[in-house]
Amino acid sequence: MKDLLSELAAWETEHTPSASSAPPTARAVVVRTFGSAPRPEGAVMLVSGDGRMAGSVSGGCVEGAAYEAVEHSRATGHSRVIRYGISDEQAWDVGLACGGTIDVLVEPVVSDAVRVAARTLGSAVITPLPADAPGPTSGHHAPGEGAVPATALVLEAAGSLAGTTGDATADAQLVAAAVDALQRGHARTVELLDRSWFIETFPRRPRLVIVGAVQVAIPLVAIAHTLGYETVVIDGRATFATRERFPDTDTLLVGWPDELADQIGLVPDDAVAILSHDVRFDEPAIITALARGCQYVGAVGSRVTQAARRERLLAAGVDSQDLERLRGPIGLDLGGRGPAETALSIMSEVIAARFGGSGVPMRERQSSRK
């Protein structure tokens, strides 16, 4: 949705109440997928009051059906969830590869809650779906008549819930599900209180803080950038921390990492990779990142180095449980030794930590489920 804000703003600037009587912008959004769906949960299509379209829910012929459903929703003032499924033989013709099935919520207007969340980021909008929406299992489902859009709940950036289901336990469960979805950066639908709730996430860009402007940091910035991460590179040596070496990093700072933590606003959502291999920089950075609860804290060094470092950190007052969160030696065992290969192993571990991945080969993971 946030990628379509410019189109939304342009349409509505053209059609101010004084200039036109065009209806408000309506939308369709994917709320659940089964099989190899071409677009993920949270994919959005907007339809302007004069019939223009932006975004996509399938990339195929389902788009036409969704467009008609949006117009019907606008005419009735009701939200509906429609299940679009297709057989394998027809899949490619309509843009639903490999027999995928999608549930699409169509809404007569783009809610204020969604508009605000898409602009501010770091929050999630939790929309109660109509009672006649299809459930969490696949299979044919005739679309119902829907209902007047219900008031959405909002998980605010501070982690509090604006609004209530009327049930404190259910509120807590929705907060936990929304926090998890926001951390993963994915929308999802959950079942609670005998109905479906669509959690639409508007996450901040994930951030990787790299301490040590060493050779490995150069490809690490490039890989992180490709994956959509904001990057910060910190080093106390001005000759290493230069724009010539790191042209693509978002922030480049010279100084002590513990002293710069406030300047960059180091928070628990951040990942921190400590590559300097210098006790003067490594250990203050580790202490600061662990104290701030960063979701990933990794540091270079052999197992011997890590053991000696652990003893020093314990002596410095670092809690032993906090120290268990330190990933050292840093990275997953990919077998490579070059700077780019090492950077890939580090970024792989960062991703695994973010999404709760095991790091084992998919073949082994699949076989263990049989």
pLDDT tens-digit readout, 74-133? 999 999 999 998 654 444 455 555 557 899 999 999 999 999 999 888 899 999 999 999
pLDDT category, 30, cuts 50, 70, 90? very high
Q: What's the full length of the chain, in residues? A: 370
pTM of the model: 0.74
Distance of CA 339 to CAs 328, 336, 343, Å?
A: 17, 9, 6
Which residues touch 3 (CB under 8 Å, ≥6 apart)? 55
Sign of the torsion formed by the C-alpha atoms of 333, 337, 341 and 346 = positive
What's the rounded Cα separation, in Å, for the pair 234 and 256?
8
Asked if 229 contacts 296 with a C-beta cutoff of 8 angstroms, the reply is no
What does the pLDDT look like over 45-66, one tens digit per residue?
Answer: 999 988 999 999 987 768 889 9
Angle at 119 between CA 114 and CA 124, to 5 degrees: 45
Q: Tell me the C-alpha distance between 127 and 18, whole Å.
A: 31
Residue 282: which pLDDT band, with cuts at 50, 70 and 90?
Answer: very high
CA distance 138 to 83: 9
Q: Which two tokens stand for residue 12?
A: 């509505």
Q: Quick one: pLDDT band at residue 19, thresholds 50, 70, 90?
A: very low
The whole-number average pLDDT for the span 128-140 is: 91
What pLDDT was estimated at residue 42?
A: 94
In percent, the amount of the chain with pLDDT more than 70 equals: 92
Give the torsion sign (CA, 302, 303, 308, 311).
positive
Map out the domains of the chain with their CATH numbers: 2-202 (no CATH), 207-355 (3.40.50.720)
Please determine, for residue 295, whether its predicted confidence score (pLDDT) is greater than 60. yes
